[in-house]
Chain A
Amino acid sequence: MEIVKVENLRKIYHQDALEIQALSGINLSLESGEFTVVAGPSGSGKSTLLNLIGGLDRPTEGRILLAGEDITRLGKGRLSHLRLNKIGFVFQSYNLIPVLTAYENAEFILLLQGMPYQKRRQHVMELLEEVGLKGLENRRPYEMSGGQQQRVAVARALASNPDLVLADEPTANLDSKTGLALIDMMLDMNKTRGVTFLISTHDTRVMDKARRVILLRDGQISSDVRIGESLAQNSASP
């Protein structure tokens, strides 16, 4: 099933008198259960693409269909509702609410959704165990390592059983070993739960773990490779 369909997506930022083309005509389709990495040099438009798909920003042109629904036409309130229920976010840093514990952070979205306490508690405890944080439920963010914090963020992103998890450079602030472990954990979740992931990175080792790599360059897709197809084609592209 097609979860995301992006058609002719353009985004132009206006900075002072300057026009910056961050995305210039992206066409893309994500199948349910895919684990996709968006790679590309700094400034190539990775964050912009993820933000648009996540409904955090509006495109200048083009359509984004999320489970068949065109989100570019939705109002602010509907978008907020959609993010709450359909999409999980993992950001690069400052992911967690500093005054809440790991448990409370993971619980945050379910609380907003109004899930009853018993169900919520069980669900969150399960998730925290799955991401390997059993026993750290009552730690505050500043009492945890960067990797542990990102795991809490992943647990939170998964808590509402979203259609899609968007992670913008989730490993950028981690050392490579911790970063790779985080990606492995996400891959696990992808396998066991069948959640669709779209992750941006410029770490080649993270790319190696993906089953599909989309390479962005200057706001355009320069290659889109599924693992199993030729790896050579991937590295040969400019």
Chain B
Amino acid sequence: MKMASRNLWRNVRRTLITMVAIGLGLALAMISIGLGDGGHEQMIESGVRMGAGHITVQPLGYQKNPSNDKIITDDALIMEALKDIPHVREVSSRIVGKGLISSAANSSGIAFRAVDPGKARDKSLLAPHLISGDYLAVGEAGSILIGEGLAQKLKVSVGKKVVLMGQDASREVSSALFRVKGIYKTGVSDLDGYFCLISLKGARQFLGLEQGITQVAVYLDSQFEVEKALPILRSRLGSLPVEVLPWQEVMPDLLRFVQLDDAGNYLFLGIILVIVALGILNTILMSVLERTREFGMMLALGLSPHFLFLMIIFETTLLALLSMVLGGGLGFGGHHYFATVGLDLTGLTPERLTLAGTIISPVLYSHLRLMRIFGLLIIIFLVTLTTGLYPAVKASRLAPVKAIYQY
């Protein structure tokens, strides 16, 4: 074993080059996994924030066929059932729907969302983007927030009146008057030209409801708790006429995008691994060929081929471990940098990034999960070991005489 480690240092430059190659491969893989995962998590988080929570509770059949008359009437029962569930940080009840908004000048189809104006989480969504006016106030029913694009189309400004029209809970067409309380600008044209925010109270008046909601957005501590929380929620709400869906089912486009992007990243990782493997194969094979005579001599002395095989495998293992320490250090450094400072893509994108209907922050933060690192380390280790096998077998099959007398 001492021999194996000394053998590695015999050709210091080659060993170092290989170590750097494996190390850089690992580091690159770690950074790319970190940024990929981090980016996806940010994307999902933002999708979840903009959308309907990590888990959405809505009337049975709403996902397939949404309509304004599908209402959860006994929302109090649901709110009661959602109390004190582990992993659940916050719930927000909403009424969502589609309708037609008109001003004196123009009209436009929109999607509206009604929230409790007192809920900080819902407020944090649009309040920072307000360019004029204010956020909805608690208690008022007739206020509406619209986007800049819609305001321009309708030729309205803060304080002006608009009429919202749509199918109510009893499938009749109803309308209600709203006053523009604020105008926001997110930079996402889908939102700015299409999405309106009103209060629950206002929505109930508009839809002719005494009570009831159409959706409960459940926010968890993190996106990784969905699988744990989902069955608990489902069992608690099992007796009610609602469907409990994870974000993956509510936002299938986002899921598909993340999966596709992941597949791309894996391909990239695969290529890195192949390059790393070739690098190792080259080093080990060269170093074995170079020592043919030496191995032949050792075999002649009575060293068992088995032992020689193990020695070369040990050399490879040592090389892999050293490289992994190097690469792990580099990769972790890179990851740490991108996790704290972030990768700023602002320069690359003239407009704000929107993907699958969600805003993506132009600064990407790396996030590495321990499981992923372990997986990666094991894969690189196995790749290294497998590549060491061929030279090791080759060496242990040497015929001593031929090896000694070859010049």
Measured CB to CB, the residues of A under 8 A from B are: 47, 51, 54, 56-57, 77, 80-85, 87, 89, 91, 94-95, 97-100, 104, 108-109, 112, 156
Contacts and interface: CB of A to CB of B under 8 A. Distances in A.
A98 B299 contact: no
B256 interface: no
15 contacts: A56-B300, A56-B404, A57-B401, A80-B305, A83-B301, A89-B300, A91-B297, A94-B293, A94-B404, A97-B3, A97-B298, A98-B294, A112-B302, A112-B304, A112-B307
A51 B302 contact: no
B303 interface: yes
Nearest to A52: B401
A91 B307 CA distance: 22
Contact of A99 (B10, B304, B405): B10
Among B297, B302, B405: residue with most chain A CB under 10 A = B302
B303 A100 contact: no
Contacts, number: 57
A2 to B, nearest CB: 23
Interface residues of B, number: 21
Given A94-B293, A94-B294, A94-B297, A84 B302 contact: yes
A108 B10 contact: no
B121 interface: no
Contact of B404 (A91, A100, A108, A112): A91
Interface string B285-321: 0000000011001111111110100000000000000
Given A98-B10, A99-B6, A99-B10, A80 B294 contact: no
B400 A56 contact: yes
Contacts of B400: 56
Nearest to B293: A94
A110 to B, nearest CB: 11
Contact of A56 (B2, B7, B304, B401): B401
Among A77, A80, A83: residue with most chain B CB under 10 A = A80
A139 to B, nearest CB: 14
Contacts of A57: 401
Given A94-B293, A97-B298, 18 more contacts: A51-B401, A56-B300, A56-B400, A56-B401, A77-B304, A80-B299, A80-B304, A83-B300, A85-B302, A89-B301, A94-B294, A98-B10, A98-B294, A99-B6, A100-B6, A108-B298, A112-B301, A156-B301
Contacts of B304: 77, 80, 112
B10 A80 contact: no
B interface, by DSSP: helix, strand, loop or mixed?
A: helix
Contacts of B10: 98-99
A100 B1 CA distance: 12
A108 B300 CA distance: 13
Nearest first, the 8 A-B pairs at minimum CB distance are A84-B302, A99-B6, A83-B302, A57-B401, A56-B401, A56-B400, A51-B401, A80-B302
A94 B3 CA distance: 17
A66 to B, nearest CB: 14
Contacts of B7: 99
Contacts of A99: 3, 6-7, 10
A153 to B, nearest CB: 10
Contacts of B307: 112
A133 to B, nearest CB: 19
Interface in B13-36: none
Contact of B302 (A81, A97, A100): A81
A109 B302 contact: yes
A184 to B, nearest CB: 24
Nearest to B291: A98
Contacts of A97: 3, 294, 297-298
A84 B6 CA distance: 23
Contacts of B404: 56, 91, 94
Contacts of A54: 300
B297 A95 contact: yes
B323 to A, nearest CB: 20
Nearest to A100: B3
Contacts of B405: 47
Nearest to A86: B302
Contacts of B293: 94
Contacts of A47: 405
Nearest to B402: A57
Given A98-B294, A99-B3, A84 B301 contact: yes
B357 to A, nearest CB: 63
A64 to B, nearest CB: 15
A235 B25 CA distance: 69
Interface in B150-175: none
Among B7, B303, B305: residue with most chain A CB under 10 A = B303
A51 B403 CA distance: 13
A87 B169 CA distance: 100
Contacts of B294: 94, 97-98
Given A56-B401, A91-B297, A97-B294, A112 B303 contact: yes
A98 B7 CA distance: 9
Contact of A109 (B2, B3, B301): B301
Nearest to A156: B301
Interface string B103-141: 000000000000000000000000000000000000000
Among B6, B299, B300: residue with most chain A CB under 10 A = B300
A81 B303 CA distance: 8
B374 to A, nearest CB: 34
Contacts of B299: 80
Nearest to B303: A112
A45 to B, nearest CB: 13
Interface string B86-110: 0000000000000000000000000
Contacts of A108: 298, 301
